[in-house]
Amino acid sequence: MPFRKTLREHQRGLAVSKDGTVESFDGPQRIWVFRKRFILLARISASQKEYIRVEERNGTLKNLPGPCYTYIDPFTMNNAEVMSSISLDANEVLVVYSRDRSTSQVVRKIQYGPMLFTPSADEWLHEFIWHGTDRQNKTQKIPGGLRFTKLRVIPDQFYYNIKDVRTKDDALITVKVMMFFELRDIETMLNQTTDPIGDFINALTADVIAFGSQLTLKEFVDNTGQLNILDNYTQLRERSKAIGYEVSKVVYRGFQCNDKLQRLLSTAMERRTALRIQMESDHQEQDLTDAKLQNEIHRNEIEQKIKVEELKHRQELAKLEKKHELQLQEKDYMERLKRKKAEEQAKLENKKKIDQQRLQYLTQLHTMGVNVTDFLVSQHPRPDQVLRVVTTNDGASSTAPTVHIHP
């Protein structure tokens, strides 16, 4: 057995004496181990995304954040292991608890992402245990089916089938819904509930059962659209607000019932569908007939309008033609009147000139001593016979005498 041991760089060894004393050596060096037991310690290291959790023999826990390394000392440590740090996205948070050494009280803090979280030795994480989706049926939730430490703070949703909803006429159905929700207040959620999904399920079931109990099956089928209105979920909205959540929407996905009732509903639905299709077909035929009549009326109106426009156009043309003809007649009349006036004026001027010449002629004759009266009388010959009719009224008779003239 060699009495000297060589320790390289980044190595640590222990020399254990027979009396139980332990001496530690770090390399690089060469040590004397005569009559001593030499133990080369194992070395573990952690990267930037890891940390080393050390459990010492005195009960102390230490978390060494990476990058780091340590040696596993069996005399001072019970265990040492490399742990991964917790990475948080922007929509995830951690609820971390720690004990205040001065007051010995537990303090709670919330770590928001994005970050890489390395817990200290006196910190522990809140583990959420909620209703989770059944692997056999995604529309059913089982208690404790969901365990996690990273709490998501983004909008989420889940499917759920509400069984044994009894209608007013005592029909049992299963109502399918889908709920959308979002966490608004983490502190309120932590203080008011341990299982928000369970609270949602209970409140949702209560609202749907209350809705179905007031209606018969036929009325329920006719009013299923009301299940898409959030105002009809009173208990769900109140409970979600009390635990720090906001329910944005509930979507109705249909319902189920037993086979016999389902066959009856299917038969009734087929009959209603056939009647509705027939009624729509009749409406379409009536609409087509109405459309044809409307088109015919519209076409007749257009034809009448065209005829009226043509008549107005012809009347306007006749009016313009008559107006033009009257203008031409007026123009011709004015021209004839103007010519006649000119002719009369010319005649008057000519007669005036002749009268002036005659007057001048007679004046000259008078100045020459000629008797103008005799001259003028001589210009007109005397008649061959002169007939004079003289009527005398002697008072004997009131009637005039009758005269007969014979050539």
274-302 confidence digits (pLDDT tens): 888 888 888 888 989 999 999 999 999 99
Residue 83 · residue 52 · CB < 8 Å: yes
Secondary structure class of 289 (helix, strand, coil): helix
Among 143-152, 261-270, 371-380, the range with the most confident prediction by mean pLDDT is: 143-152
Query: 251-255, 310-314, 357-361: lowest mean pLDDT where?
Result: 357-361
Task: Give whole-number Cα distances, 258 to 54, 156, 218, in Å.
Answer: 60, 32, 15
Secondary structure class of 123 (helix, strand, coil): strand
Alpha-carbon distance of 236 to 203, in angstroms, equals 5
Closest CA to 81 of 51, 118, 113: 51
Structure tokens at 224: 């299923």
Percentage of the chain surpassing pLDDT 70?
90
Closest CA to 205 of 138, 156, 258, 250: 250
Closest CA to 110 of 51, 186, 192: 186
pLDDT tens-digit series, residues 116-149: 999 998 899 999 999 998 888 888 889 999 999 9
The predicted pLDDT at position 50 comes to: 94
Overall average pLDDT of the 386-392 stretch: 59
pLDDT(400) > 70: no
Percentage of the chain surpassing pLDDT 90?
48
The predicted pLDDT at position 91 comes to: 92
CA 265 to chain CA mean position, Å:
36
Alpha-carbon distance of 180 to 150, in angstroms, equals 20
> Model confidence at 241, in pLDDT bands (50, 70, 90)?
very high
Mean per-residue pLDDT over the chain, rounded: 87
Q: What is the CA radius of gyration of the chain?
A: 66
> Model confidence at 366, in pLDDT bands (50, 70, 90)?
confident
The predicted pLDDT at position 406 comes to: 59
Domain 127-257 CATH (choose: 3.30.300.30, 3.40.50.10260, 3.30.479.30, 3.40.50.1580): 3.30.479.30
The predicted pLDDT at position 53 comes to: 94
> Model confidence at 99, in pLDDT bands (50, 70, 90)?
confident
The predicted pLDDT at position 150 comes to: 94
Q: Which of the two residues, 74 and 406, has the higher pLDDT score?
A: 74
Residue 86 · residue 94 · CB < 8 Å: yes
* Residue owning tokens 């009960």: 59
Task: Give whole-number Cα distances, 169 to 173, 209, 216, 220, 380, in Å.
Answer: 12, 13, 5, 10, 143
Overall average pLDDT of the 19-28 stretch: 89
Q: Which phi and psi angles does 155 have, rounded to 5°?
A: -55, 140
The residues, any chain, with a CB within 8 Å of residue 155's CB and separated by 6 or more, are: 180, 181, 182, 248
The predicted pLDDT at position 404 comes to: 61
Overall average pLDDT of the 49-74 stretch: 91
pLDDT(195) > 70: yes
Alpha-carbon distance of 65 to 51, in angstroms, equals 4
